[in-house]
Structure 1
Amino acid sequence: MVVIHDGYFTDVEGCIKENWFQIDSLLAKQILCRFSLPFNKLAIFTLYNNCVHLSAICILINLFHIYILTRKALRTTSPIYILLTAIAMIDIVSLSYDIHTEIVEVYKVFKVCYSKETDYTIILLNNIMEFIRNYSRRCSTWLSFSIALIRTLIVKYPLNPKLEILSKPKIAFYIIPTILILSAPIHFMDIYKYQIVFYDENFKCTQFPSYTTLYYGSILSDYYEQDDVWLWKLNRTIDAVISKFIPCILFPIVTYLLVIEIRLADERRKKLNQSSIAEKDSKNTTKLVLFLTLPFFLGELPIGLILLTKPIDKLREAIGFSLFTEGIEKFFSVVLSATTATHMIVCVFMSSQYRESALSFIRCGVKFKSQNS
């Protein structure tokens, strides 16, 4: 086991001299060391380790978002709003991981010395919360994709009676459990990912312990460690392909098709000289879907690429590449957390119904003159 110390985030000259990236080019070593170390320090210590504040804000925004989405004017209009409600709930579950981590850290500050049983419970809860966060992120990804797919099919086949159900709110109640169930099998591999072991059974706590690890520690399980960690590599690869890479390929394809269909629909309306409020609302709903897909690429695509490269032995064994990929993963994990708040912002600008419901709440139910988007 490699012990990571502060020097790995500040000692640029040591990085170059000791060749942490295990490459031959001096110029490449200088560039990587001078860029990666400050970036890792920013991503891991400054952003990721302090993202609880961002997560708390995003949770509050998503709670307000859920309240608005569950108003009758929205939940009975389109399955998109119901799916957005499910995504917001799942995002809150994912963000709660950071809140849990901060609560544990606060507990450790007020109670520096605690029993072996408490130490075991803390580590077990951390593993469970990580397990839940990973599952919720996978589900959120495919729920977001389902929104884009539904809208594309509705716009492309507006008169197809077989696809008419896609515009009905009840379809969301079939999609949500389907995605939750289909996302579960790959996730069960995570159950055997870690094991809790004794680091120091005879640890004697003082008011100023030298290590953050006391009695127990969480390490990669024996199942994952055996045969050159092939099971770990398989898990990371499958996770990257199914949860990140495939959606990142399908998203731009579906989005491109949606844009094409919008243009074709506009041309058809111009030829027929048709224009109506319903058509305008439909166009605004389509724009809403397009803008909702954009934040996905900001966080998911880079994380997917990192998950694909991590099982590569050369990158995993070189401490420089190992920490750099860890920094990138944590940086975009923070970005992904931040994007959960953008759903509400997009809805405010793109949906007149959403604005009306939000303003009604802010004004304590006082009616106001509605405006078309």
Structure 2
Amino acid sequence: MSAGDSGSANQTLQEVATVVNGIGSYLHQTNFILSCISLVINSFHLLVLSRKSMKTSSTNIILIGLSISDTIIMLTTLYKHYVMVDMENSDCVTSEYRIKVYMDLTVWSILVVFRRCGCWLGVLMATVRYFVVKKITVSRYGNWSEPRVGWVMVFSVFCISGLQTILYQSRWMVVENRSVPLPINCAEYQNINRAPQFSTMLTPFFSFDNQIVLRSYVMFDSIVTKFIPCIAFPILTISLLRVLRKMKKSGGNSGRKISVSSEEKKGLTTKLIVILTISFFLTEAPLGFIYLVKVFFDRNDPILLLSTDFVIYFSMLVTINSILHPTFCVMMSSQYRDSIRKMLGVKRNPKMSSARNKTSVVSVQGIQMT
């Protein structure tokens, strides 16, 4: 490519970035409002899931972990809007106070931890449900539906994600009166020609040899956190649907008498995982590609700058998903609705309860994900 063609391409990217940035500023405001709504809804959602009547299966416990992740993600989003100088780049953290820089880096770390947890908890929920349904006649898989299995999975995901994030966040060191200007990608929110009192720079370990260690980690994290779950989630969901279809054709009997609930017959509980799969793929796959751009381009490259501007678009979809998760539970789980009624002191219609008991005698724990 000639110098003229390269200059023309860069100019085109800058023009596109200007448009994306213009829309993005409004999306930041919208995302802030949606985050407030999500925080309220997920706080109530967490209260419902935390009731004793709801903590009866591993899938419900995983839903608790997912709700915790959504709630903390929304809290960090509100913090970024209110307190941080730059809402898009952790390498643009600056302040007149050293403690403020450490606080901002901590919030970024918490955000990364629970974003990763949300990805894997969704996959684990589909995995548990698949094995419980697929191996219902195999005794060694029977305990997969027990709450303690869900707690172990949630705790493990939180710990592993936390350790991984600690390694990643160790790339920063806080410096005072830096001698080099801030990166170009910080220019959107602050004057990069002004030397801030305190800011962040890469440690020598992560910056040597053209940041080979950092680039390798980002590639690994993108594959493990984004692409593998984006592949595994649909595969598990399709496999689950095939198993349930076979069960319905065979009358739901797999070596022992099983009475499937009316909700399961209608496929309402499985639809929750199907919807989670679609929404997860639409948000996390594009973010994975955006993060992967960091591996192949320098942070001052126009393509990287443009990809960073697109983050807010998919981050807002993540916020919308966090609002939809409780909504799907209300729509698709009678047990969830009953728990809300008990919390609010609303009595169930006796006629409806009687009709429900006639259509659903016994449900196998782990098959009915409510």
TM range (shorter): 0.7 to 0.9
Change (3 A) 1:264 1:35: farther
Structure 2 matches for 1:29-68, cutoff 5 A? 30=12, 35-43=16-24, 45-48=25-28, 51-68=31-48
| Aligned amino acid, residue 258 of structure 1 | L
DSSP 3-state at the match of 1:72? coil
Structure 2 matches for 1:314-353, cutoff 5 A? 316=298, 319-353=301-335
Matched residues in 1 for 2:14 and 2:47: separation?
47
Aligned to 1:145: 123
Normalization by structure 1: what TM-score?
0.78
Change (3 A) 1:355 1:322: same
In the alignment, structure 1 residue 98 sits paired with structure 2 residue 77? yes
| Aligned amino acid, residue 126 of structure 1 | D
Aligned to 1:70: 50
Deviates more, 1:162-171 or 1:209-218: 209-218
The Cα shift of 1:93 comes to 1.6
Aligned to 2:346: 366
* Alignment equivalent of 2:237, drawn from 244, 255, 260: 255
Matched residues in 1 for 2:218 and 2:312: separation?
16
| Contact in 1 for aligned 2:54/2:60 (Cα 8 Å) | yes
Aligned to 1:178: 156
| Contact in 2 for aligned 1:54/1:338 (Cα 8 Å) | yes
| Aligned amino acid, residue 101 of structure 1 | K
In the alignment, structure 1 residue 19 sits paired with structure 2 residue 7? yes
Matched residues in 1 for 2:142 and 2:200: separation?
51
| Aligned amino acid, residue 278 of structure 1 | S
Return 5+ residue gaps in structure 2 as ranges.
Answer: 86-93, 180-189, 357-369
In the alignment, structure 1 residue 165 sits paired with structure 2 residue 165? no
Deviations 1:314-359 (A, max 9, x none): xx36733122210222321221122111110111111111122223
Deviates more, 1:280-289 or 1:339-348: 280-289
Aligned to 1:154: 132
Matched residues in 1 for 2:253 and 2:123: separation?
32
Change (3 A) 1:20 1:355: farther
Matched residues in 2 for 1:125 and 1:323: separation?
25
The Cα shift of 1:189 comes to 2.0
Deviations 1:238-286 (A, max 9, x none): 11011111111111111110111121112111899x9955264474322
Deviations 1:274-308 (A, max 9, x none): 99552644743222222233221121111112222
Matched residues in 2 for 1:310 and 1:191: separation?
16
Change (3 A) 1:250 1:350: same
- Kindly, what percent of the aligned residue pairs are identical? 25
The Cα shift of 1:61 comes to 0.8
| Aligned amino acid, residue 195 of structure 1 | M
Change (3 A) 1:366 1:223: same
Matched residues in 1 for 2:135 and 2:217: separation?
38
| Contact in 2 for aligned 1:40/1:323 (Cα 8 Å) | no
Deviates more, 1:97-106 or 1:286-295: 97-106
Matched residues in 2 for 1:34 and 1:62: separation?
39
Deviations 1:9-45 (A, max 9, x none): xxxxxxx9983745xxxxxx75x555443123323x2
Structure 2 matches for 1:290-301, cutoff 5 A? 290-301=274-285
The Cα shift of 1:94 comes to 1.9
| Contact in 1 for aligned 2:171/2:202 (Cα 8 Å) | yes
Question: How many residue pairs were aligned?
Answer: 328
Return 5+ residue gaps in structure 1 as ranges.
Answer: 1-15, 23-28, 107-115, 202-208
Aligned to 1:310: 294
Deviations 1:139-164 (A, max 9, x none): 12111110001111122122111111
Change (3 A) 1:128 1:251: same
Matched residues in 2 for 1:330 and 1:220: separation?
24
Matched residues in 2 for 1:368 and 1:191: separation?
50
Change (3 A) 1:69 1:135: same
| Aligned amino acid, residue 342 of structure 1 | L
Normalization by structure 2: what TM-score?
0.79
